[in-house]
Amino acid sequence: MSEPIIELNNLKKYFAINNGVLAKNSYVKAVDDVTLTVNKGEIMGLVGESGSGKTTLARVILNLTKPTDSHVTFDGVNLSKATRKEMKKFRTEVAVVFQDPASNLNPRDTVMGSITRPLILHGMSKKEADKKALEALEQVKMDSRYLNSYPHQLSGGQLQRIAIARALVLDPKVMILDEPTSALDISVQAQILNLLLDLQENLGLTYLVITHDLNVIRYISDRIAVMYLGKLVELGTTEEVIDNPKHPYTMGLMAASPILNPHERNREKHLMQGDPGSLINLPTGCHFHPRCPYATERCKKEVPKDIIFPDGHQVNCFLYDEKNKTTSEYTG
């Protein structure tokens, strides 16, 4: 069942910063040489802090912005070379739900208007679209009386459900969810997470869930990808990444992440020093070296390559050796 649906190979997205007429342009390397595959039917969690580039990566995958180097392959189609017809099809096959339920929907449109818009855009008649909108509301377990409401009249949880309903209405294969529950209360978050899991099972969807909340990602994902300052530093199954992180950044992230069990509060924690860093003033060599407890001279000068272990676990770090593919000795 490991059929890839999204394939990225050495994907780059740089934003040029104009340094004036005389100086050379510098670059914000929001996505820097990222290799990643999302398989059909899986839930891939993408985790990273601010400035990690995770939202930019999502936007490149959605073709909302063009890659600087390499391309996105979706279901076998190279998006950079897609025909008009292929692009139109793509637009029905990927849906997105962004953070902040309040602004996911056009404030001037009713719920009905927002949900039926994609259908009408793709040629459905108003009557059919209305019917489909009702079905979509049922799928997200919302009452049909909300069809004529405006976004400002609804709560965060309700808005999120409607955003999901709208995303589902074109029968997509993939849903990209950017911080789907960050703005929600715990009880509402539980409802939305349950809903997302039910939908995924019933409709055979593939999810890319982007969040900074490690508890949510551990709960919902099959595999986890960790980003830091534009780089994909680690990729593996949920159990592997959470229980057995290989990259020092992932280790630091796990250490810093609050555990929902007070009995574990006195565990030994090696907290990361420093701030997450900025994409504008990137360090040389490995982007993480200024904060890394295992950094060597090599890390300051060279950029690590992706090392892929036999079980598919991927790390971007000099601690791991291409030939041996086992952990080399380090002091710690």
Partner 1 sequence: MNEELLKLNKLCVDYKVKGGYLSAVKNVSFSINKGEIFAIVGESGCGKSTIAHSILHLLPEHNEVIKGNIYFKGSDINQFTEKQLEGIRGRDIGMIFQNPLDSLNPVYTTGFQVAEGIMLDNVSKIDAWNRVVQLFKDVKMPDAEKRAESYPHELSGGMRQRVMIAMMLARMPELLIADEPTTALDVTIEAQILNIIKELRDKHNTAVMLITHNFGLVAEVADMVAVMYAGEVVEQGTVYDIFDNPKHPYTTLLMKALPRKTKKEGRLQTIGGSVPRLTENKPGCRFENRCPYAMDVCKNQDPAEYNVTDSHTYSCHLGKEVK
Partner 2 sequence: MNDSPLKEFLSSCYKNVNFMIGFIIVLSIIILAIFADQIAPYGYDEAHPQDILVGPSSQYLFGTDNMGRDLFSRIVYGTRITLKVALIGAGLELILGVTIGLICGYFGGFWDRALTFIADMTWCIPGMIMALAVVTIIGSGLTNAIIAIALVGWASYARMVRAKTMSIKNQAFIEPGISFGESSPSIMFRYILPNIIPVLIVTISMELPGIVMSTTTLSFLGVGSQPPSPDWGLMVSEGINFISRGPWLCIFPGLALIYTVFGFNVLGEGLRDLLDPRMKSQ
Q: Under the rule (CB under 8 A), what is the footprint of partner 1?
A: 49-50, 155, 157, 185-191, 193-194, 197, 212, 214-216, 218-220, 238-239, 252-253, 255-265, 269, 271-276
What does 294 interact with, of partner 2, partner 1, none (CB < 5 to 8 A by kind)?
none
Nearer to partner 1, 145 or 265 (CB): 265
Nearer to partner 2, 168 or 241 (CB): 168
Alpha-carbon distance of 297 to 262, in angstroms, equals: 39
* Helical axes 156-168 vs 186-203, angle rounded to 10°: 10
**Residue 233 Cβ vs partner 1, minimum distance, rounded to whole Å:** 14
Main-chain phi, psi angles of 303, to 5 degrees: -95, 125
Which residue from 9, 25, 103, 155 is in contact with partner 2, where contact means CB under 8 A?
Answer: 103
Alpha-carbon distance of 57 to 60, in angstroms, equals: 5
**Residue 208 Cβ vs partner 2, minimum distance, rounded to whole Å:** 13
Nearer to partner 1, 119 or 163 (CB): 163
What does 100 interact with, of partner 1, partner 2, none (CB < 5 to 8 A by kind)?
partner 2
- Residue 85 CB burial class (10 angstroms; 0-12, 13-18, ≥19): exposed
Alpha-carbon distance of 134 to 125, in angstroms, equals: 14
Nearer to partner 1, 16 or 219 (CB): 219
Q: Does 137 bind partner 2 (CB under 8 A)?
A: no
Strands 206-211 and 43-47 turn out to be parallel
Alpha-carbon distance of 270 to 313, in angstroms, equals: 23
Which residue from 9, 25, 88, 244 is in contact with partner 2, where contact means CB under 8 A?
Answer: 88
Both tokens of 282, joined, read 């990137």
Nearer to partner 2, 179 or 240 (CB): 179
Amino acid, res. 89: K
Residue in the block written with tokens 């997200």? 140
**Residue 104 Cβ vs partner 2, minimum distance, rounded to whole Å:** 5
Which helix (H) or strand (E) is 207 found in, with range?
Answer: strand 206-211
Interacting residues with partner 2 (CB under 8 A)? 59, 62, 64, 88, 91-92, 94-100, 103-108, 117-118, 121-122, 148-150, 152-153, 163, 166-167, 170
